[in-house]
Chains A and B, each alone.
Chain A
Amino acid sequence: MSGNLIASTARKARKLTEEEVHEIEHEMELYPDKKAVGLEALKIVQKHQGWVSDESMQAISKFLEIPVSDLESVATFFNLVYRQPVGENVILFCNSVSCWVMGCESIKSHINEKLGIDFGQTSEDGKFTFLPVPCLGDCDKAPVMMVGDDLHRNLTHDKIDELILTYRKSKQVE
């Protein structure tokens, strides 16, 4: 390990969990170099920690031996890598053209009102983070959004009310 190279920042790194290390090592087998695993490592850490903290960035950088600045240039580029804490449920709200034609603006206002948050914000109870997402590729069932890994289609105000109730109760709809 090139420990000296990053000694000045390394003390801020948290320790990756065994699970995280195991999953990142599995990805390393699939690519010819470590740099290619950067995004996968960010996603793995996020899956376990909920988001990617500075300490996690340092840890991944150290583990993959890639500069934290390179990693940051990837982390800040992608919509689905979260560099701030997010709520238990991330709402990925499609506001691209088909959903717009089908009235997603009104659905968005309804969510704004119900949860008291706009894009980029997390509800006070920590249950929801509300984010826009580029076209979700389900345009014949517009308006659509994802909550966590689940896709919800043909959205109406009533459907939003139901979904909010359900997700308030449980972390994931099975």
Chain B
Amino acid sequence: MIVNPLTKNIDMTRPPLEISGYESNDGYQSIKNIAKGMTSTDVLQKTKDSGLKGRGGAGFPTGLKWSFVPQGEDSPKQKYFVVNADEMEPGTFKDRLLMEGDPHLLIEGIIIGSFAIQADTAYIFLRGEYKVAERALRKAIDEARERGFLGKNILDTGFNLDIIVHTSAGRYICGEETALLNALEGKRANPRSKPPFPQVSGLWGKPTIVNNVETICNLPGIFTYGIDWYQSLTKGKDHGTKLFGISGKVKNPGCWELPLGITIRELLEDYGGGMQEGLDLRGFLPGGGSTDFMLPEHLDLKFDYDDIAQAGSRLATGTMILLDNETCPVGMIGNLMRFFSHESCGFCTPCRDGLPWVVAIFDEFCKGQGTRKDLEILHEHVEYMGPGRTFCALAPGATAPLGSGLRYFAEDFEKLIKE
């Protein structure tokens, strides 16, 4: 039984498989299965039934998201499928692996997703800095087109699809789906007010689905090996495997495909090799820079959506960043605040004005010049920049490490207050 559907073809010591090698390892089998007579409604239903949740950060059920796209006679004929490949969440390095290691898997997934919502054009919104991934994807698209998996009347289904690679030019905010759509339209990438949601009115006002790379890479397995197989992969409540990563001072930092629901300790010790000699774990961000800190006491929790949420954080991208006992938590959070401040698009006041203020206060703390009033202001900003006060999740994301850090590492902040 295949236990690593996302990475079974990946070996970073060689170039990715070309289409012949990819096909001989069940590649594009899902498209052949669908072409045997499944309708787009069947594909949508099967995706819903699989229990797949988005792997980009928010964890929204993929099939449910697709179901919001209007279908039928009176729906707009033009629909778009967009791949969010703008990986820029601090500490996150999983989509790079998928695209550099096995580009055909993403292409195969895009065909399934586009068919489900009946989109004849798909855009891959790729980070400009991901040059190796860009070359790999362009080559894979050409190969897939030559073999008839892209283009007109794919495998005699009457379905047409073209995939276009759009390379961005480096702004974190473009990972927010409505900002991404503005960027694709050639506008300044400010997020849009919602509703309307992109599923109804997205790219150029047409129904649009935006999915993360890893989410899409789950689809070929589901349509090749079936739902029973997919649901047998997990060790927890949520289905499938997940790319988990560790960065920071462990013996063996890296990224591995593992069942959802393994414990955090297993990941850290069995795969990460434990902390470097002489260092202890003080805390960690479980899923990238915009998740709440967790503590060593949480290590025996399962790494899946529910358990992490119960500990007050989010699985999000599943790539952990570790804080060791010799690294200053205030400095680490200050670094994150500087990132969010720099990457704010500047549209909403709490984010545009709040984050630079927070950064200025962290600068004072890092010089040992913090005041009680500063500490109060930091606490206030956790609320001011929280959910519901801005168009998008950038500032609320920043409050996750800020709020949890103030709570868990209060004594470190105290020490940096000048008396």
Interface set of A (CB-CB < 8 Å, partner B) = 30-33, 35-40, 42-43, 66, 70, 73-74, 77-81, 92, 95-98, 100-102, 132-142, 146, 149, 151
**Could you say which residues of chain A place their CB within 8 Å of the CB of B336?**
97
**Could you say which residues of chain A place their CB within 8 Å of the CB of B188?**
73-74, 77
For the complex of A and B, 10 pairs with smallest distance between CB atoms: A78-B169, A139-B247, A79-B170, A140-B253, A98-B247, A80-B169, A36-B186, A38-B186, A35-B186, A80-B170
Known: A80-B128, A92-B129, A101-B322. A139 touches B92 (CB 8 A): yes
Chain A: CB-nearest residue to B184 = A36
CB distance from A40 to the nearest CB of B (A): 8
Given contacts A77-B189, A100-B335, A134-B170, 11 further A-B contacts (CB under 8 A): A38-B186, A66-B186, A80-B169, A97-B91, A101-B323, A134-B171, A134-B342, A135-B339, A137-B127, A142-B247, A149-B131
B236 in the interface, Cβ–Cβ < 8 Å?
Answer: no
**Could you say which residues of chain A place their CB within 8 Å of the CB of B339?**
96-97, 134-135
B14 in the interface, Cβ–Cβ < 8 Å?
Answer: no
**Could you say which residues of chain A place their CB within 8 Å of the CB of B253?**
139-142
* A114 to B167 alpha-carbon distance, docked (Å): 32
The size of the chain B interface, using a CB distance under 8 A, is: 55
CB distance from B58 to the nearest CB of A (A): 19
Interface set of B (CB-CB < 8 Å, partner A) = 87-93, 95-96, 127-132, 164, 166-172, 183-189, 204, 245-249, 253-255, 285, 289, 319, 321-324, 327, 331-332, 335-336, 339, 342-343, 345
B170 & A137 in contact (Cβ 8 Å cutoff): no
A146 & B129 in contact (Cβ 8 Å cutoff): yes
* A92 to B342 alpha-carbon distance, docked (Å): 15
A134 & B343 in contact (Cβ 8 Å cutoff): yes
Known: A78-B170, A139-B319. A134 touches B90 (CB 8 A): yes
* A100 to B333 alpha-carbon distance, docked (Å): 11
A139 & B169 in contact (Cβ 8 Å cutoff): no
**Could you say which residues of chain A place their CB within 8 Å of the CB of B132?**
151
**Could you say which residues of chain B place their CB within 8 Å of the CB of A79?**
169-171
* A146 to B293 alpha-carbon distance, docked (Å): 29
Chain B: CB-nearest residue to A104 = B335
Most buried by A among B91, B164, B167, B168: B91
* A74 to B340 alpha-carbon distance, docked (Å): 19
* A79 to B335 alpha-carbon distance, docked (Å): 18
Identify A136's interface contact among B129, B171, B335, CB under 8 A.
B129
Identify A78's interface contact among B91, B92, B171, CB under 8 A.
B171
A101 & B249 in contact (Cβ 8 Å cutoff): yes
CB distance from A37 to the nearest CB of B (A): 7
CB distance from B126 to the nearest CB of A (A): 11
A96 & B289 in contact (Cβ 8 Å cutoff): yes
21 A-B contact pairs sorted by A residue (CB < 8 Å):
A30-B164, A33-B204, A35-B185, A35-B186, A36-B186, A43-B128, A74-B186, A77-B171, A80-B128, A97-B285, A97-B336, A100-B331, A134-B90, A135-B289, A136-B129, A137-B95, A137-B96, A138-B93, A138-B96, A139-B91, A142-B253
* A68 to B38 alpha-carbon distance, docked (Å): 48
* A79 to B332 alpha-carbon distance, docked (Å): 23
Most buried by B among A38, A95, A136: A136
